[in-house]
Amino acid sequence: MRRELLLVRSKTLLISMAAVSLLVAAPAQAQPTPANGQPTPVSAESPAPSPAPAPVVEMSNRPLKPAWWELIGGFEGDTHQTGYSFLGPAYNHPLRPNLALHFKVDGNYLYYEFANGLGGKSSVHSPGFGPGIGLRFGDKTSFTTTVGLNIKRRQEEITSSAGRVSDTTETRVGAAFSADLYHDLSKYTNLQLIGSFGTVDNYTWTRAGLKNQVSNRSWQGHQTVYLGVEGIAQGNKDIFSWQAGGLVEVLFVPSSLSLMFRGGYKNSSFDIGPDKTGPYFGVGLYKRFK
């Protein structure tokens, strides 16, 4: 019951984030983002201060930003055989101020295992591929929603106390949904909320992260460091995990390249068998192409 309740709350968070998309269409006075850069799970800030809001009369004459490409990737693993990785490009095409089309495609890989009722284990390995399309609202504060395909080659191996029971591999096609809210709480502090759900594994992943700029506040240097904290809830009917930890992000300003290193404590629970606890670790990558 505890895992089902937390999964429902995680899915509710994803739906709630979609509901606020119309509320963040206008830019907010906030912490600067990278020159020509866009907020992402590991995006970076720029020295340019937020411009004063332009009069409504002039909005229609304001030139659109040029379209831009991004490379986004990451990996997260733990000490009890659970992990997820992804890597792929994204393309943003402005339609009007504070609104852009968002296209992405990535390769991804999910794996986990859990004790079964046969005295053995069930192991799942699920590499996949997923194109998606969506909308990006806002500028300094942004909200991005995406829907796409979720194509996976899912392998499940089941063992018992006597040995292997089954080993099946099949290709599954489903839908994937994601939402990402990036909001500057102050000039140096940023909040990010992310949620995703895939129908192939019925897997939900949600994250709340808070980071603060601790170096290069005058923007005279070439590297900027951020420190922060995060909380994550993820899982499906087989496994549910919650985790809490810290992060260090390094922004290489001239190249619009950002690397984020994450780690902390994780607890995983299962339908059968005891909980597993231990450290988790992760790394994130963001690169803006001018």
Answer whether residue 125 shows pLDDT above 70.
yes
Q: Which residues pair with 106 in a beta bridge?
A: 130
Position 288 scores a pLDDT of 94
Return the H-helix or E-strand segment holding 2.
helix 2-19
Q: What integer is the mean pLDDT of 75-81?
A: 92
pLDDT at residue 201 above 90? no
pLDDT class of 13 with cuts at 50, 70, 90:
very low
Q: What is the pLDDT of residues 213-231, one digit of tens each?
A: 999 999 999 999 999 999 9
- DSSP per residue over 13-53, as a string? HHHHHHHTGGGGSS--S-----TT----TT----SPPPPPP
What element of type H or E holds 8? Answer: helix 2-19
18, 88, 144, 147 from 22: Cα distances, Å: 9, 27, 11, 17
Is the model more confident about 273 or about 267? 267
How much is the pLDDT for 157?
Answer: 95
**DSSP bridge partners of 41:** none
The answer, yes or no, to whether residue 47 has pLDDT greater than 60, is no
Per mean pLDDT, which range of 33-42, 81-90, 118-127, 255-264 is the poorest?
33-42
Residue 176's SS3 state is strand
pTM of the model: 0.76
Q: How far is residue 151 from each of residues 69, 84, 129, 169, 267, measured CA to CA in Å?
A: 23, 15, 5, 13, 28
User: Can you list the domains of the chain with their CATH numbers?
Assistant: 2-289 (2.40.128)
Give 38-98 as a DSSP string: ---TT----SPPPPPPPPHHHHTTSPPPPPEEEEEEEEEEETTS-EEEEEEEEEEEEEETT
What is the predicted pLDDT for the residue at 274?
A: 86
Dihedral angle at the C-alpha atoms of 192, 26, 28, 94, nearest 10 degrees? 70
At 281, the pLDDT band (50, 70, 90 cuts) reads very high
